[in-house]
Amino acid sequence: MGAFDPGPFPGPSPSIARVEVPVETRAPGGTTNAHAAGGLLVDPAARTDALDAAVGVADADSDRDGGTPEIDAIAVTHAHPDHVGAVAEYADLTGAPVFAHADHVDRFAAATGVEPDGTFRGGDRVGDTGVRAVETPGHAPDHVAFAVESAGGSDEGDRGVAADAARELLCGDLAVAEGSVVVGAPEGDLREYLDSLDCVRAAGYDRLYPGHGPVIDDPEGVCDRLIDHRLERERTVLAAVEDGASDVESVVDAAYERDLTGVADLARATVVAHLEALLAEGRIGREWGDRIGGERADGTPKE
């Protein structure tokens, strides 16, 4: 019996609105989760009625003076196409200021079509919201998560988010409840990704709210699983090289047993990201620099 006891409900219900929105760009499962929490709208990937309701925007028929938008700021976890689609529209509808990572303003503006009204760095509160940014690069260079301060616990700490002040993290594409996150060249950086997972695991959040798929109730277990998955893939890639693979194609063939129809480009990008990490650490020969060099010259330069 005890094994099934869910235990005491952990404090007041988090005031996090999670809205699954369909997106037209490639996205895991075809949807992205937008969130509204602590006055911050995160990842408005597309406009929907449910998201309108979550942010207090009156329907399109009535005039917007009737509604009182319930958000104080808009931001994204990262500027990939499946996270940014309706930033401009919701900025317009709500009048809320838009915030971007201070080091990635141009990238943000290019992806959203919006010049940010303000910026943040890891540890900063985003505008006047009850939410702080947490640096979590790896999946993308500009990737951040947002830690939601629990109601009543919004002390003005000056450094990052203490684990006891924030129990919930809007984690974007850092983690997913099932399966794994793409960390591929040229955008992805495996070592940064593993470090980010490590930090989030150590912070001891109660729940993670990912950009795709269901809420994660076991952050530590999921972070462990994702880290293990990466290290396992790395061992496979390294073994393929040691077994004589001499180009990216043959490493991909060795590293993936399943049919890659439809995801071959992602598999290849993933393998290249692993090879980049191994090369940077001197664990594979320098000749791999040339073999994977072309991957960076495909028009999407590594930042």
Binding segment (CB under 5 A) for Zn ion, from list 61-69, 75-83, 99-107, 125-133: 75-83
Exactly one of 57, 71, 76, 80 binds Zn ion (CB under 5 A); that residue is 80
Q: Which is nearer to Zn ion, 18 or 125 (CB)?
A: 18
Contact yes or no for 200/134 (Cβ under 8 A)? yes
**What's the closest the beta carbon of residue 77 comes to Zn ion, in angstroms?**
8
- What is the distance between the alpha carbons of residues 37 and 122, in angstroms, rounded to a whole number? 18
Is 173 one of the binding residues for Zn ion (CB under 5 A)? yes
Name the minimum Å distance from CB 61 to Zn ion. Answer: 34
* In the complex, minimum distance from the CB of residue 32 to Zn ion, in angstroms, rounded to a whole number: 9
Residue 281 is given by DSSP the state T
Closer to Zn ion at the Cβ: 52 or 173?
A: 173
What's the CA gap between 202 and 148, in Å, rounded?
17
User: What are the backbone angles phi and psi of residue 114, rounded to the nearest 5°?
Assistant: -125, 130
- Kindly state the smallest distance separating residue 51's Cβ from Zn ion, in Å: 19
Measured between alpha carbons, how far is 174 from 212 in angstroms, rounded to an integer? 10
> In whole angstroms, how close is the CB of 79 to Zn ion at the nearest point?
9
Helix, strand and coil in the chain, % to nearest 5? 35, 15, 45
- Preceding omega of 219 cis (within 30 degrees of 0): no
Of residues 26 and 229, the one with the C-beta less far from Zn ion = 26
Which residue lies nearest Zn ion, judged by its C-beta? Answer: 80
Q: Where on the chain is the footprint of Zn ion (CB under 5 A)?
A: 80, 173
